[in-house]
Amino acid sequence: MALNIVLVLLYLIVIFYLGYKGWRETQTASDYMIAGREINPYVMAMSYGATFISTSAIVGFGGAAALFGFSVIWLTFLNIFVGIFIAFVFFGKRTRKMGRRLDAHTFPEILGMRFESRFIQGFSALVIFLFLPVYAAAVLIGISRFIEVSLHIPYWAGLLGFSVILALYVIWGGLKGVMYTDALQGTLMFVMMIILIAFTYSHLGGVGHAHQALTDMANLVPAKLKALGHMGWTASPKSGSPLWWIVYSTIVFGVGIGVLAQPQLSVRFMTVKNDASLNRAVLVGGIFILAMTGIAFTVGPLSNVLFFQKFGKISIAMAGGNIDKVIPLYISKIMPGWFATLFLLAMLAAAMSTLSSQYHVGGTSLGRDFYERGLGKTSGGEITATRFGVGLTILFTIMWGLFLPPSVIAIATAFFFGLCSSTFLPMYTAALFWKRVTRKGAITSMVGGFAVSFFWLLFVHKKEAAAIGLCKALTGKVTLLGYPWVVVDPNLIALPISIILIIIVSLMTPRMDDEHVEKCFDW
């Protein structure tokens, strides 16, 4: 315990030092600019990977995999194929070039400039600023649950303590010098995950034996889960069952596709020097993501076998019904003590890198995109607005972290990814690939996708509609539609509508100025 705390403190000192070093280097601006930002592909891929993958993916989705089973592994496939390959090769290259051409520095800005619309920039920024804290809270909850289990500190105290340390890190320059820290944090996460999978598989007699042992436990699935469509941890849920919809529409599709329109990830493409760096980053990124979510979604289900062998209980019973505690418990109860300490450091790293980039995006969304460009205020208040934005994002994240219920990490993450997907993805894709798209088409798609998403959440999707209660208050019914619609993820409805809107409205409205469009695509 004392050793754990000493190691955590030592680690934090190193991270603070690296953050400060990065910050110092941004102060020597002229050298920096002449050289261009020499980010090598390893650092770029690690930085993207460490921003993409966090305690949310490892603790939250790993815990969800422990409950739902190996079917969640389909999300790993999408994380690699869509989140790395398609994102880097197709979206990344064009985002980088268009970003340079238009001198855009944030996600709302590239959209606003491509469509020559302050409304698009302001509206996107506001959506990000208001809802990003829900996702950031998922990351914060992940690390706080880890601290709770491994350091035996109450959840709320861990959450507040970590937030204070992170706030100090941010003030120390942590938002500016992310290159060194991300590379270090990504590397640490990678090494720990490899040890985790090697230990788990070797303990269970190899890959095939481990999976078979879990297959043989299908009779231990609780009756309540069986009724929802659970067919065992190595099988897909029953086709069309509530669990099937949750796994495939919310977790796999919502998060797997939503990654393409993540504001904190797409800005990473703009910092890359050339296409060759992106090509090389595909290699590093693919391996990194397999080692992160692939291992988390494998160890999650297999934790049932090890917990059952050692304690006679399946994972969800070990965690007292809170899936967010499964992975922390696995690390502290099953893995060796030295590993648990180092893994805690890796999780601190994962949370710090993702949260700092989220705070960065929250701040620039409010300051640069909403206040300066959206509202058109340029009298110097944008600096205050940016800092105010960072502060509010931190505050909202803490509040969500304290008030959201247990077992919420995966759901909160999927909410933000789904919302970004239905609000931004058709517009962002068209901005990069379709010269005929018009400003009105983009606005209709953005506002339409956002509105349909929220309508579905408040009036149809039972989990949220029942909890919020607006539908019941207005119509007397808990939801407007019946099964299966009540378990269909909002994104699965809102994204197609958003796509249809952008195509139809663009074709019905006059083309954008040819000269501007040519400028956007001149690379």
Partner 1 sequence: MLGFADSLTAWGYILSFLATILCIVYGLVNWNKGTESEEDYRRSVEWEREEIEVEDRLP
User: Please, which residue, 145 or 211, has the CB nearer to partner 1?
Assistant: 211
**At closest approach, how far in Å is the CB of 429 from partner 1?**
20
Shortest reach from residue 274's CB to partner 1, in Å: 4
- DSSP helix/strand/coil, 5: helix
Please state the closest distance from residue 29 (CB atom) to partner 1, in A: 5
C-beta closer to partner 1: residue 196 or 270: 270
* Count of beta carbons in the 10 Å neighbourhood of residue 8: 18
Sequence-ordered list of residues with C-beta below 8 angstroms from that of 74, at least 6 positions apart, any chain: 248, 252, 256
288 vs 416, beta carbon nearer partner 1: 288
DSSP classification of residue 235: S
Number of helices followed by number of strands (H, E) in the chain: 28, 0
CB of 94 to partner 1, least distance (A): 12
Q: Which residues contact 243 (CB under 8 A, 6 or more apart)?
A: 68, 225, 228, 229, 230, 237
The nearer residue to partner 1, 333 or 387, going by C-beta atoms, is: 387
| Measured distance CA(66)–CA(64) in Å, rounded | 5
Owner of token pair 């009756």: 223
- Taking the complex as a whole, the smallest distance from the CB of residue 47 to partner 1 amounts, in Å, to 15
Please name which of 74, 413, 421 lies closest in space to residue 248, comparing C-alpha atoms.
Answer: 74
- Among the listed residues 410, 445, 409, 422, the one whose alpha carbon sits nearest the alpha carbon of residue 492: 422
Residues in the chain: 523
Question: To the nearest whole angstrom, how small is the minimum distance from the Cβ of residue 72 to partner 1?
Answer: 8
Our CB check for partner 1 shows the closer of 93 and 114 to be: 93
Nearest 5 degrees, angle CA 365-CA 489-CA 501? 65
What b/e string do you get for 27-54 counting C-beta neighbours within 10 Å, with b at 16 or more?
A: eeeeeeeeeeeebebbbbbbbbbbbbbb
Q: How far is the CB of 456 from partner 1 (least distance, A)?
A: 27
Place of tokens 């601290």: 147
CA distances (Å), origin 470, targets 82, 347, 465: 35, 37, 7
Residue closer to partner 1, measured from CB, 100 or 511 = 100
Minimum CB separation of residue 495 from partner 1 in Å reads: 22
Nearer to partner 1, 53 or 419 (CB): 53
Nearer to partner 1, 218 or 447 (CB): 218
